[in-house]
Structure formats: C-alpha cells, structure tokens
Amino acid sequence: MRALITGADGQTGSYLVEALRLRGWDVHGVRRPTSEPSPTGPTGIRWHGADLTAFTDVRDVVARVRADLVVNLAAVSSVARSWDEPVEAALVNGAAVANMLDAVLETRRDGHEPHFVQASSAEIFGDPSSSPQDESTAVAPTNPYGAAKAYAHLLVGAYRARGLSASSVILYNHESPRRPPSFVTRKITSAAARMARGLQDSMTLGNLDARRDWGWAPDYAEAIALVGEARAASDFVIATGEAHSVHDFARAALRAAGLDEDGRSIRTDPAFLRPTDAPLLVGDASRIRRELGWAPTKGFQDIVTAMVEADLAALD
C-alpha cells in the first residue's frame, strides 16, 4: 500500500509517517520545490516537490505517485499567523485542498480508487454554544485560520457527495516534543525548563483562561492512520474530551520541572492576546472510538511532562 502525505515533516506528519511505515506502507511526502526536508524530519520517505496552490503541480504529483491513501496535513498552522497573513492562510489551508481533492478525483476517474483524508481543526467551530463538540456541531469559525479550514472541511463533504472516498479528521490541539517553538505550549514547556535551570525567572503569556482539549500528537497520528486504513469516508472528531486552560498547562509544566507557582513565575502581556479567542473547545470523539476503536493513550499531565523533559534534555 502506498501513501502520499503533505506536511510530512511537521509534527503530526512525522508521527504519521512512522505509524504507516510500521504498518508496512510505502510512504511518499510532498514539500515545496524550493525547500529541503527537515534534518529532524521522518526517514524512509520519498519526497516530491509541488506547490500545493498550483493545480498542475498537485495533479502531476498525485498522478505520478498513484497513492492508495492521500493525507493533507500541510497548512498555515498558526491562528496568530493567519491574522498576519490571511490571504496565505486562505490559499494554503483552503484553495490548496480544492486542488488536492480535484487531483485525487481525476485519478479515480482513471480507474484508481484512492482515499483522501483532510486534517481539519476544532477551530472550524469558532466559539461554540455547547460543549463538547462533535461531528454535528455547527461550523462557525472566528478567525482566518478556522475560516480557511472550514472551507476545506466543507469541500471534503462536497467531493464525498460526488462519490470520492474522503474523510475529514477534526483535530483538537495535539502536542509533543516535536511541536514547533512558536506555539504557546512549547513556549511554556521550554520556559519551564529554562526556569528550572536558572536561565530565566518567569514566563510571559497571553490569555490564561482560554481552554483547550490537549492530546498527544502520536495518538492523533494513529487516529489518522486508522481512518486511512479503514477508508472510513466520514468526518471524525479527534479529541480527549477533557478541557484545560493555558494557566493549567503552565502550572503542569512548572510541576514537571520541579517548580512551584509563586505568583511571579507566570506573567501576562496583552501583546500576546489574539483578536478573538474561543473560550472553550473540547471534543467528543465517540464516533471514532466506537467505529474504529481509537482511544488516547497519554493524559494531560503526562503530555506536559514529556515535553518539559525533552526541553530539559535539550539544555543539558
């Protein structure tokens, strides 16, 4: 079996490559023609260059690889960046998915029957009126990232109605030591590690009250692999069902680093606030648990601890 993955050298993509290769899949990755694979990215993968916003590029690589499974993880992955670059977010997170779906549909017309999986996001729900959210929750994004992801999410349903085997996995926040340092979770764990080593005395954050459903990235890659293997043409929420605040995350990181919150160790700065920030996003993953047997393996404190320990090790 052959898989084609965009965003294969990102956090989730790297874990997905590992999960599929353990299953015996031949894995191919897509990157920009001018970029090189990350030195810390996955191994044993064949790379193809393509600009995902250019249909001819996407069509050519999809036709050349003729994968049984196509997974789109490529994205402008930061909500904050999407406010700074809304057009780029719209192109990469939205229009590029239209390119991929149409290219995959073309190979299906040629007698090939691939399955497509789109990495959607809890941000498509915006500021939901009820929690937890599931696959029937109204799509109502409140930022450019969520709006572009919502367009792609709805496109998957449209192409599925045309007969394409396609799934959308609605991923809630998922973390690991491979999370890029620009994300608040890595900012927190790296700050806690530096504080434990006496290299700084506090961490500065934005909205401490924002609550998220934080899971373990390898678990979420496993969920994507299950959906791909099962060719489950449906939407699936991938979440733990537990919500924790940014403040909770910071406290957990301090505990993992052997520190206590003393009233000065966690500071706030309005400069780090988003223009809008949904106060509570927590998912109900009952469908994938019931239909595919998926379940998270690592709890909240264990996730934070694994990240802090990796950041401590990097300082030694």
> What integer pLDDT is reported at residue 274 of this predicted model?
65
Ordered by where they begin, the domains of the chain are 2-174+214-238 (3.40.50.720), 177-212+243-281+299-315 (3.90.25.10)
Find out whether 250 and 203 touch, Cβ atoms under 8 Å: yes
What pLDDT is attached to residue 278? 61
Residues 211, 215: Cα–Cα separation, whole Å = 13
C-alpha span between 69 and 101 (Å, rounded): 12
Paired sense of beta strands 69-72 and 115-121, if any: parallel
Q: What is the C-alpha to C-alpha distance for residues 247 and 262, in angstroms, rounded to an integer?
A: 13
Distance (Å) of CA 58 to CA 89, 114, 241: 18, 15, 36
Concerning whether 123 is annotated as a catalytic residue, the answer is yes
pLDDT for the residue numbered 42: 87
pLDDT for 272 equals: 75
Which residues, given as ranges, of the chain have pLDDT below 70?
Answer: 37, 39-40, 274-279
Per-residue pLDDT, 78: 87
Short-list 299, 119, 125, 311, CA closest to 215 = 299
pLDDT for 271 equals 78
Residue 33: predicted pLDDT: 85
Which of 77, 121, 176, 190 is catalytic? The answer is: 121
Give the list of residues 6+ apart from residue 68 with CB closer than 8 angstroms, or none. Answer: 1, 2, 3, 114, 115
Catalytic residue among 18, 123, 222, 229: 123
Catalytic residue among 15, 77, 82, 145: 145
